[in-house]
Amino acid sequence: MQRRWIAGLLVLLALTAAGCDQQEEIKIGLAINLSGRGGAAGEHIRDGALLAVEEINDQGGVLGRPLRLLVRDDQNSDAGIKKAEEALLAEQVVAVIGHSYSSNTLKAYPLVTGNDTLMITAYTATTKLSGKDDLFFRTAIDCVMYGQKTAALFRQKGVTSVAFLMDMSNPAFVLDYLAQVKKNFQGDITTVAFESRDKVDWPKLSQELLAVSPDAVMMLTESSMTGVAVQYVRNQGFSGPVIATIWTQSPELIRIGGPAAEGMSLVTFINPENRRADYLRFADTFQEKFQKPASARASRAYEMVYILAEGLRQAEKVDAYALKKALLATEFESIMGRLRFDRYGDVVRPVYEVLVRDGRFVNGGEIP
Amino acid sequence: MSRLRPLQSHIKKILLTVITLTFVVTGSFVGWRQYSVGQQEVARVLTAQIRIAQSLMPSLLLAHDRRLRAMAGDLAGRPDQEVLARVKRECLRRDPFDICYVLNPQGRIVYISREYDSYQGFNPSHMPHVKEARQVSAVFQSVFSKRSVVALKYRLNANLRLIYERDIGNILPALLHLEKGEIFDRQSLVLLTSEGVAAYHPDQNLVRTRHHLAYDMKNMQGPNSRGLYSYEYQDKRYYAVRVELQTPRGWLLYLQVPARPLMITAVKEIALQLVEMLVLLGLLTAAIQFILRRFFSQPVQDIVDALARYEPESSYPEVLQPRKSGVREFARISQAINDMARDVSLSTERFRRLVDSLDALVYVADMETYELLYINRYGIDLFGDITGKLCWQSLQSGQTGPCPFCTNHLLIDEEGRPQPTHVWPFQNTVTGEWYECRDQAIPWTDGRLVRMEIALNITESKQAQDALADEKERLAVTLRSIGDGVITTDTAGVVTMINMVAERLTGWRQTEAVGRDLHEIFHIIHAKSGEPVENPVDKVVATGQVVELVNHTVLIAKDGTPLSIADSGAPIRDKNSEIVGVVLVFRDETEKNRLQEQSIKAQKLESVGVLAGGIAHDFNNILTAIMGNISLALTDTSLAADTAKVLEDAEKASVRARNLTHQLLTFAKGGEPVKESTNIASVITDSADFVLHGSMVSCRYDIPDDLWLVEVDHGQISQVVQNLIINAKEAMPDGGEIMVSCSNVPVGSAAEPALKGDSRFVRIAIRDTGPGIPAEMLTRIFDPYFSTKEEGSGLGLAICHSIVHKHDGHIAVQSQPGQGTEFVIYLPEGKAVQKKVVEEEAATSRPARVMVMDDEEMILNLSRQMLNRLGHEVVLAHGGQEALALYQESLESGNPVDLVIMDLTIPGGMGGKEAIGELLALDPQAKVIVASGYSNDPVVANFRDYGFAAALVKPFQLEPFSRVVNKVLAAGQGEQQG
């Protein structure tokens, strides 16, 4: 009788232990600006990534292991970047998604890849990370392509002179972009630089920008700053083309810029009128979960997480180098179309002119 | 049956179970109750706390709202400058990070807190926090401060609006202070906007980054009956109370507590109470167990022990001491048991004496385990006391398991109900004795069904029955094995037995025949009249005597086959000599009768042969005289042509008469053919034409000119051809055509396997256009006495077959019904005919002294005339003795006889066959020709073997006679001629 009790107890303990035996999580990090200047745009990135992780885990995770997304705010500052990355590396994440600005990415790059951790971003266009056989991947195109396409757009619009407004809080992107445009555009280019993290005298800045009466204004600024800037430019009576970059492709532009943003052009690889079934499903889910529309940033984050998950499934083991090998060997079908990395972890995608029309983004066609 | 355990053990177990169940149920209830009370306490405390927070929240979030609202009320209708001045003053009293700005009618900022004055002119009027109607906006990142804020809106006058961006970080200090008064470990407040964004959370990063916290709160449940919500956040479960703020509307305030510390606390309290309860229950159990043992289980144990010691065999046993337990009820039970024990003892003794007195084996065994439960004295005397052992091991020998002849399955039906008593004889494998066993399934004293067998020894009666049965079997086997058919019937003629021979003869099997009337299976008729023969059974029953069947009785078998039988019937009598049946004994006489008929036919033929032989001998002598004299007469050249013609006709008729005689002899005696090389063509045509003369059947011949000669007996082969032609003619009574074809068959070309070798043959085919012969008869047509004709002797084709084979030839038949019949004969090629002719022609006639010996005077005269005509001197002798005497006399006289012609047989005297020996003894050089009418006599056929120089077949004519005589005289050796 006593033996029977003991056996029953052992069975109960074994069952309890089995119930507690969960598969080890695979950790990936997300380091973006959430609270610094332009942090509102980072919310879209975070929410897109969170949704992707939840869906993947609901489908059984990766190789039977759940994904865990660790979100860290880089506060759009050097200290914040360092703190966020160190926290993620301490958690032994296999990959870090980040950052939302090229400059921030460049700052984090040595820290992350130097610790045998893979880094991937959709928000970094600087050419300083192009053509390197390293642990850095991106689903965004680089400034070389942007430079060519922006110059082509200028020509297409008959622009001969352009005034560049440059937010030097992200110099890696801004200067690189400018240099690549200059390589491809023969017209007059004037530049006005500012630091968005400092106090900005917007009336004065806009006057300086339009002082040379340019045919067009090119804004190398993030979305909220672009929203403010475009108001002041229009307040100055400028009616010419105002062109911005993918950095601006966020609802914040429209929320802040309001009517002044109407008619703006954006040079971007994100098609705002994506009609793919999987994208529409994603957009519906996103709206339901977060009570706001899916943005370009959210969809890029969502795409990145799925790419990482598929790479991990194909990898021989869960580490940065196996993941790199798998990412390079795999062709991905994402909500934004087919994608394959080149040997340096970069991609080539079509570039569109996206217009702000009636308070929303519409596709103005691929820039030839 | 499950294992039985002592009462005390049962009581202990039941008590333990009840206590355990009581403990578990009570413990569970206490645990649940404690947990419920704990949760209720948590809910109560948290609710009280959250009410405080809820009441504080509007004043924290909307700290300056009342003041600004009052200001806006004061400024209504005031000029813009005054309004702006007042706003600037009031805004100086704002909290850190809060921002004031005033919008003009175009929505542009005309005043903004000093730190952000570079945004003068900026138009935020399209932004949601300005455009929306609600008083308090959603949390958003301020364009100016970049911090998380909510916006409050105030209409100042007709032109100006005040927007107050309230930094939600400003509510932090008050809430942190509130949280310091925590009652539960790690309790915390969470404030979510109506969109689910964190407006307050202990993790300030979530607030700073406007984290959508509602998204992270998984598996939200509640509220439960105590008003508690539960959810998981970052893999930890929380309990919380929740209130919705009136201002801002839709905002939710949670006061949450981690579930784990609460659970630990509750478990500790429950465990303590359970330990106390366990101790109490233990004490209670011990007390109850003591009382039960003292006043219940121990007395019961005493009764049990006493009953265990109880000996049923003892007379009037005293089982228990009634007063030992000290309990009155147990004393009464003891007394009652004692009384019952005495009754049982008496009943058992009565039963035992009754069953032990039986002169039969009685035993009882379990039907499943085969354990012997009881065996009576009779059984014990036979097998010993085998109670408790297995029946198949103890009552039988040589069994390795339950006996294959066990009747257990017959004693109960499929539903386990007892069946009527099964009675069966059985020879016990231990004693070898026979028993009549009466097996029955009966309910045993414990309620189970058991097997009871009462076995009565029947060995003696069994042996008597077996002897009787053996005797019956022996008789039956004898009857069935007997060589004659045996049928037994009762007096009514119903068949009771039929043996194997009778089965074969009647065609009825015993199983079919028994029970039928004798008339059905034993149908007998008279062979000649076809009338039914009187039933022998009736006759035997009527006479009471053995009766024989009349001759020529035929039994008609079941399939209609008639069988000649001989039969006798005899009565079967019982011990009182009363006739109880009839036995018929009969045998098949068909074959015997057939052989008898054949024998009679053969005897007849033999008689005819002897008669024919006798006639032929005399006839030959007569013919010899006729033919000889005619041939002599024809040598007379002076005869008129007409006379000569008449004589020639007479000679031809004589020749035919001679041939007929020859045939008669052949038919009568058979015998060896006297062969000579012959052109068979004339034999065939003469024979066929002779037979067919005057009939409606024509004959065509296909005989090549170069057909080889054959070595045959002319007469015998002629007989063969005639028989075949006669058969063909008779097969075509309405006329038809016979085709006779001949051909040469070189060496090795004969179609018949029997003719392979180095001989050459002449093939003769005789084909008719008759109806043909059925296949089943083809193999029998050469059998003696086989005939399809009413009057046929059955010897014709048999003689043909015999003759051809004596010629070293072969005869075969081919026939298809409706396509005629073809007989094919192969005869060996003849030899050296041309040489003989030359020699014959070369033989010259010289005067000689010739002795002729014959008992017929006319033969002697003819021979003398013919020899004289040939120029020879003739000495006549009438018998063998005389011939020997004359020959010796001639030798002694010096005028020896040159040639002696002796008749083969001399009736009543010495013939040539006997005389040749003595003659040659007188003169080894003597030349003797044997003459005989029996051409097929072995002596004539093989004359040299007997010492003759040649043979003459009577009747003979002058020409062949002279040829033979001249040849013998001319040469040292002679040739046979006829």
Mean pLDDT, residues B86-110: 92
The Cα–Cα gap between B340 and B262 comes to: 68
Please report where in the chains the tokens 């948590």 appear, as a residue.
Answer: B42
Q: Across all residues in chain B, what is the average pLDDT?
A: 84
The pLDDT tens digits for B785-825 are 677 765 566 677 877 887 888 888 888 888 888 888 999 99
Cβ contact (<8 Å) for A256 and B143?
Answer: yes
The Cα–Cα gap between B94 and B114 comes to: 12
Q: Which pLDDT score is estimated for B214?
A: 83
More confident position, B71 or B781: B71
Q: Which CATH number fits the domain that encloses residue A57?
A: 3.40.50.2300
Please report where in the chains the tokens 């289980």 appear, as a residue.
Answer: B297
Among candidate residues B915, B899, B912, the one with its CA nearest the CA of residue B867: B899
Contact B817, B777 (CB under 8 A): no
Asked if the model's pLDDT at residue B845 lies above 80, the reply is no
Asked if the model's pLDDT at residue B616 lies above 80, the reply is no
- Among 1.20.1090.10, 3.40.50.11540, 3.30.450.20, 3.40.190.10, name the CATH number for the domain at B358-457: 3.30.450.20
Cβ contact (<8 Å) for B212 and A203?
Answer: no
Domain count, chain A: 2
Contact B62, B152 (CB under 8 A): yes
Cβ contact (<8 Å) for A224 and B120?
Answer: no
Check whether residue A106 and residue A151 sit in a common domain: no
Q: Which pLDDT score is estimated for A299?
A: 95
A16 part of a folded domain: no
More confident position, A166 or B305: A166
Class of domain B610-663+833-978: alpha beta
Q: Which pLDDT score is estimated for B203?
A: 86
Cβ contact (<8 Å) for A39 and B126?
Answer: no
Q: Which pLDDT score is estimated for B705?
A: 87
Question: Measured between beta carbons, which residues in chain B are less than 8 angstroms from residue A199?
Answer: 115-116, 118
Q: Which pLDDT score is estimated for A159?
A: 95
Residue span of the structural domain in which A82 resides? 26-143+274-340
Considering A135-139, B245-249, B714-718, the range whose residues carry the highest mean pLDDT is A135-139
Check whether residue A306 and residue A357 sit in a common domain: no
Nearest residue of A to residue B127, measured between CA atoms: A255
Option in A46, A50, A200 nearest B118 (CB): A200
Q: Which pLDDT score is estimated for B834?
A: 43
Cβ contact (<8 Å) for A202 and B141?
Answer: no
Q: Which pLDDT score is estimated for B312?
A: 63
Q: Which pLDDT score is estimated for B839?
A: 43
Option in B125, B143, B210 nearest A228 (CB): B143
Check whether residue A149 and residue A139 sit in a common domain: no
Contact A250, A41 (CB under 8 A): yes
Q: Which pLDDT score is estimated for B281?
A: 87
The Cα–Cα gap between B111 and B103 comes to: 7
Query: What is the residue type of B275?
Result: V
Best of B14, B193, B212 to disrupt the A interface (most A CBs within 10 Å) is B212
Nearest residue of B to residue A224, measured between CA atoms: B143
Mean pLDDT, residues B401-405: 90
Q: Which pLDDT score is estimated for A17?
A: 46
Q: Which pLDDT score is estimated for B128?
A: 92
The pLDDT tens digits for A240-263 are 999 999 999 999 999 999 999 999
Between helix B298-309 and helix B7-61 the angle, nearest 10°, is: 150
Check whether residue A254 and residue A155 sit in a common domain: yes
Considering B114-128, B645-659, B860-874, the range whose residues carry the highest mean pLDDT is B114-128
Domain chopping of chain B, boundaries: 60-170, 310-353, 358-457, 466-588, 610-663+833-978, 670-828
Assess A260–B contact: CB distance below 8 Å, yes or no. yes
Nearest residue of A to residue B205, measured between CA atoms: A73
Which 3 state secondary structure label does DSSP give B885? helix
What's the pLDDT band for B837 if we cut at 50, 70, 90? very low
Contact B762, B680 (CB under 8 A): yes
Cβ contact (<8 Å) for A231 and B128?
Answer: no
Q: Where are the alpha helices (DSSP H) in chain A?
A: 2-20, 39-58, 78-90, 102-113, 143-156, 171-184, 202-210, 223-235, 251-257, 277-290, 296-314, 320-329
Asked if the model's pLDDT at residue B878 lies above 60, the reply is yes
Check whether residue A188 and residue A220 sit in a common domain: yes
Option in A36, A43, A235 nearest B146 (CB): A36
A20 part of a folded domain: no
More confident position, B317 or B58: B58
CA angle B906, B912, B917 (to 5 degrees): 135
> In the structure, how many helices (H) and strands (E) does chain B have?
30, 35
How is domain B466-588 classified at the CATH fold level? Beta-Lactamase (3.30.450)
Question: Measured between beta carbons, which residues in chain B are less than 8 angstroms from residue A232?
Answer: 121-122
A7 part of a folded domain: no
More confident position, B710 or B658: B710
The pLDDT tens digits for B172-222 are 888 888 888 788 888 899 999 988 899 998 888 888 888 888 888 888 998
Option in A42, A73, A258 nearest B123 (CB): A258
Please confirm whether the linkage preceding A293 is cis (ω < 30° from 0): no
Q: Which pLDDT score is estimated for A242?
A: 97
How is domain B670-828 classified at the CATH fold level? Heat Shock Protein 90 (3.30.565)
What's the pLDDT band for B668 if we cut at 50, 70, 90? low
Question: Measured between beta carbons, which residues in chain B are less than 8 angstroms from residue A228?
Answer: 119, 122, 143
Nearest residue of A to residue B208, measured between CA atoms: A35
Digitized pLDDT (tens) for each residue of chain A, 368 residues in all: 444 555 555 555 554 444 444 578 999 999 999 988 888 889 999 999 999 999 999 999 999 999 999 999 999 999 999 999 999 999 999 999 989 899 999 999 999 999 999 999 999 999 999 999 999 999 999 999 999 999 999 999 999 999 999 999 999 899 999 999 999 999 999 999 999 888 899 999 999 999 999 999 999 999 999 999 999 999 999 999 999 999 999 999 999 999 999 999 999 999 999 999 999 999 999 999 998 899 999 999 999 999 999 999 999 999 999 999 999 999 999 999 999 999 999 998 999 999 999 999 999 999 98
Check whether residue A222 and residue A198 sit in a common domain: yes
Check whether residue A286 and residue A310 sit in a common domain: yes
Q: Mean pLDDT check: name the lowest of A101-115, B107-121, B596-610, B613-627.
A: B596-610
The pLDDT tens digits for A209-251 are 999 999 999 999 999 999 999 999 999 999 999 999 999 999 9
Q: Which of residues 316-345 of A touch B (CB under 8 A)?
A: none
Question: Which CATH superfamily is B60-170 part of?
Answer: PAS domain (3.30.450.20)
A8 part of a folded domain: no
Which 3 state secondary structure label does DSSP give B505? helix
Check whether residue A134 and residue A178 sit in a common domain: no
Asked if the model's pLDDT at residue B146 lies above 80, the reply is yes
Asked if the model's pLDDT at residue B937 lies above 80, the reply is no
Asked if the model's pLDDT at residue B744 lies above 80, the reply is yes
Domains B358-457 and B466-588 share a fold: yes
Mean pLDDT, residues B480-488: 84
Q: Which pLDDT score is estimated for B602?
A: 60
A258 part of a folded domain: yes
Nearest residue of A to residue B115, measured between CA atoms: A199
Contact B949, B925 (CB under 8 A): no
Cβ contact (<8 Å) for B209 and A35?
Answer: yes
Option in B118, B141, B196 nearest A199 (CB): B118
Q: Which pLDDT score is estimated for B438?
A: 94
Measured on CA atoms in the order A284, A289, A292, A298, is the torsion positive or negative? negative
Check whether residue A228 and residue A82 sit in a common domain: no
Check whether residue A31 and residue A172 sit in a common domain: no
What's the pLDDT band for B734 if we cut at 50, 70, 90? confident
Q: Which pLDDT score is estimated for B1?
A: 46
Q: Which of residues 191-220 of A touch B (CB under 8 A)?
A: 199-203
Mean pLDDT, residues B750-762: 73
The pLDDT tens digits for B542-582 are 888 888 877 778 888 888 888 888 888 899 888 888 888 99
Contact B697, B736 (CB under 8 A): yes
Q: Which pLDDT score is estimated for A204?
A: 93
What's the pLDDT band for B613 if we cut at 50, 70, 90? low
Option in A224, A231, A291 nearest B123 (CB): A231
Check whether residue A260 and residue A201 sit in a common domain: yes
CA distance, residue B120 to nearest chain A CA (Å):
8
Please confirm whether the linkage preceding B810 is cis (ω < 30° from 0): no
Q: Which pLDDT score is estimated for B756?
A: 62
